[in-house]
């Protein structure tokens, strides 16, 4: 989640998401696994008192937000754009917002209010539809998704924000083998449970397929119908739209028109209008080519859809390829760099573009295992200009590493700050002896929670 370092019910005192974290409240220090910590956090939220994460001398101020009623409990969050003030080994560390497309959206399309714990989103797409109307796919090529003024979020911007808030753009070697669709879904829903759009919780309009299980087929079907009920209702020719986030299995011709088949929904396809399908190939040519040629690439789709006669039909959509670790990539160059980072057991955060057009360069990723000063990694493609050095606080990140992808092979990555013998031996084999990062706990928001899927694949989930 957005720097979530603790998420729990006030009645549970041992649920831990950051085992090494210590917080200060009213001059007293509490470890997250201490008996009284949950009650202290609940009281802090009720009285609107701030906590301080003690990863740095003097601490870094944080606040407490209440989770959505369906989830219950509280979550300790960073103050807006203060993640870079935390120690790089802290679970609450995050690169400066200006290293990604997030920087232009904070305070305009994304309004986070620590006083009441509510984050309000301004959406640039419709959540209702008139009969017969279909919207173009959201991509730079369609001219509808890139909003450099930062006034609203397109589908792409929303997907990137949810991915960031769910900590799915962040990677550490200890996460290897611990991310499945069940984990991804859980983290996305928890992130959406803290967001408000058009005066309602975003999670009330969001459908993410549950991991499929043959034994649970009927229960899954019933829950799906209940979740889609608001989209099935229609008033005066206008119907509400739902949001879908799912992994695409295939997009193919149907008996009539076209359809998107998503994983974990073997009994229900999503209809796609022919004109939308034709524009899809042009708008996402690079993403679709990567998906077609990369056997280990997942394709994530975010879409708005309506339900008519029990049949869901897509109105607007955006595609995002991700690696087998569910880390977003733009093209083959991005995948090559992510694969190298993972193979070398590096700790990093993928910087997502949000609403930035392709010609505006920001860091591709930020390494957090280089010591006290993280390092930015940037890919320059073709005749693109290098990233603007002034886009990020130079006191918060080290001078940039550049890869001119069309001119040279992938250069050596910045060195890590420290190593242990076991990781060093593994890295000698995988990456020519580059020093590894010390082992830390899972950065995900469900790490260590009782019954959390973060420690395994989850029942019925697929890797």
Q: Write the DSSP string, 146-198.
A: --TT-SSB-HHHHHHHHHHHTTTTEE-GGGTT---HHHHHHHHHHHHTTEEET
The structure tokens listed for 322 are 């991700």
Give pLDDT, residue 70. 62
Q: Which of 138, 143, 140, 180 is nearest to 159 (CA)?
A: 138
Task: Compute mean pLDDT per 10 residues along the chain, 463 residues long, and list them.
Answer: 42 36 88 85 87 91 79 82 90 92 94 89 90 54 44 96 96 95 95 91 95 94 90 72 97 94 96 92 93 94 92 95 97 96 97 89 92 91 68 63 93 81 41 29 30 33 35
Give pLDDT, residue 13. 34
- How deeply is 375 buried, as exposed, middle or buried, from its count of CB atoms within 10 A (0-12, 13-18, 19+)? buried
- Give pTM, 2 decimals: 0.83
* Spatial strand order in the sheet of 234-235: 128-130, 238-240, 234-235
Give pLDDT, residue 133. 55
CA atoms of 6 and 241, how far apart (whole Å): 33
CA atoms of 125 and 264, how far apart (whole Å): 26
The set of residues, in sequence order, having a beta carbon less than 8 Å from that of 289 and lying 6+ positions away, is none
CA atoms of 89 and 351, how far apart (whole Å): 18
DSSP codes of every residue in 311-372 = EEEEEEEEEEEE-TT--B-SSHHHHHHHHHHHHTT--EEEPP-TT--TTS---SEEES-SSS
Q: Are 341 and 313 in contact (CB under 8 A)?
A: no
Centre a 10 Å sphere on the Cβ of residue 412 and count the other Cβ atoms it contains.
Answer: 9
Q: Are 355 and 147 in contact (CB under 8 A)?
A: yes
The structure tokens listed for 438 are 């010390």
Give pLDDT, residue 89. 87
The set of residues, in sequence order, having a beta carbon less than 8 Å from that of 379 and lying 6+ positions away, is 333, 334, 337, 364, 402, 403, 405
Residue for token pair 């073709």: 382
* Positive/negative CA dihedral, 222, 226, 232, 236: positive
- How deeply is 181 buried, as exposed, middle or buried, from its count of CB atoms within 10 A (0-12, 13-18, 19+)? buried
Q: Which of 347, 403, 393, 394 is nearest to 371 (CA)?
A: 347
Q: Are 431 and 342 in contact (CB under 8 A)?
A: no
Give pLDDT, residue 62. 92
The DSSP call for residue 144 is: S
Give the rounded distance of the alpha carbon of 215 from its chain centre.
30
Give pLDDT, residue 423. 47
Give the DSSP H or E segment for 118.
strand 118-121
Could you tell me whether strands 242-253 and 258-262 are parallel, antiparallel, or unpaired per DSSP bridges? Answer: antiparallel
Give pLDDT, residue 39. 87
Could you tell me whether strands 170-171 and 258-262 are parallel, antiparallel, or unpaired per DSSP bridges? Answer: unpaired
CA atoms of 241 and 306, how far apart (whole Å): 5
Give pLDDT, residue 144. 34
Phi first, then psi: give them for residue 365, nearest 5 degrees. -155, 165
Give pLDDT, residue 174. 94
The set of residues, in sequence order, having a beta carbon less than 8 Å from that of 26 and lying 6+ positions away, is 49
């Amino acid at each position: 989640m957005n720097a979530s370092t603790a998420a729990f019910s006030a009645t549970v005192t041992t649920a831990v998401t950051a085992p090494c974290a210590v917080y200060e409240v009213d001059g007293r220090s509490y470890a997250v696994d201490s008996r009284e910590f949950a009650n202290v956090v609940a009281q802090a939220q009720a009285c609107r008192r701030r906590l301080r994460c003690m990863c740095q001398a003097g601490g870094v101020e944080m606040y407490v937000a209440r989770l959505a009623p369906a989830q219950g409990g509280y979550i300790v969050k960073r103050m807006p754009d203060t993640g870079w003030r935390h120690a790089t080994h802290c679970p609450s560390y995050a690169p400066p917002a200006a290293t990604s497309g997030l920087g232009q959206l904070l305070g305009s399309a994304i309004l986070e209010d620590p006083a009441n714990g509510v984050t309000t989103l301004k959406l640039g797409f419709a959540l209702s539809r008139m009969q017969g109307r279909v919207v173009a796919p959201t991509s730079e090529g369609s001219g509808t998704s890139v909003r450099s003024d930062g006034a609203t979020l397109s589908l792409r911007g929303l997907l990137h924000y949810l991915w960031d808030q769910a900590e799915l753009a962040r990677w550490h070697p200890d996460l290897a083998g611990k991310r499945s669709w069940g984990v991804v879904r859980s983290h996305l829903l928890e992130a959406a449970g803290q967001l408000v759009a058009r005066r309602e919780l975003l999670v009330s309009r969001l459908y993410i397929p549950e991991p499929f299980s043959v034994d649970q087929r009927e229960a899954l079907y019933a829950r799906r119908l209940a979740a889609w009920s608001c989209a099935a209702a229609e008033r005066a020719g206008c119907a509400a739209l739902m949001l879908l986030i799912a992994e695409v299995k295939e997009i193919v011709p149907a008996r009539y028109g076209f359809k998107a088949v998503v994983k974990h929904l073997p009994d229900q396809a999503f209809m796609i209008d022919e004109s939308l399908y034709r524009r899809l190939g042009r708008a996402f040519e690079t993403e679709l080519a990567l998906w077609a040629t990369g056997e280990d690439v997942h394709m994530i789709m975010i879409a708005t859809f309506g339900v008519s006669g029990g049949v869901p039909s897509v109105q607007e959509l955006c595609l995002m390829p991700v690696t087998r670790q569910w880390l977003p990539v733009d093209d083959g160059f991005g995948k090559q760099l992510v694969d190298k980072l993972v193979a070398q057991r590096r700790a990093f955060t993928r910087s997502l573009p949000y609403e930035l057009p392709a010609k505006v360069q920001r860091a591709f990723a930020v390494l957090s295992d280089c010591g006290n000063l993280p390092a930015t990694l940037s890919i320059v493609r073709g005749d693109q200009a290098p990233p603007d050095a002034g886009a990020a606080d130079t006191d918060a990140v080290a001078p940039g590493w550049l890869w001119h992808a069309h001119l040279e092979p992938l250069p050596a990555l910045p060195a890590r700050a420290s190593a242990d013998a076991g990781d060093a031996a593994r890295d000698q084999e995988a990456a020519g002896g580059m020093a590894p990062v010390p082992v830390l706990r899972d950065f995900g928001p469900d790490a260590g929670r009782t019954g959390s899927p973060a420690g395994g694949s989850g029942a019925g989930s697929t890797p």
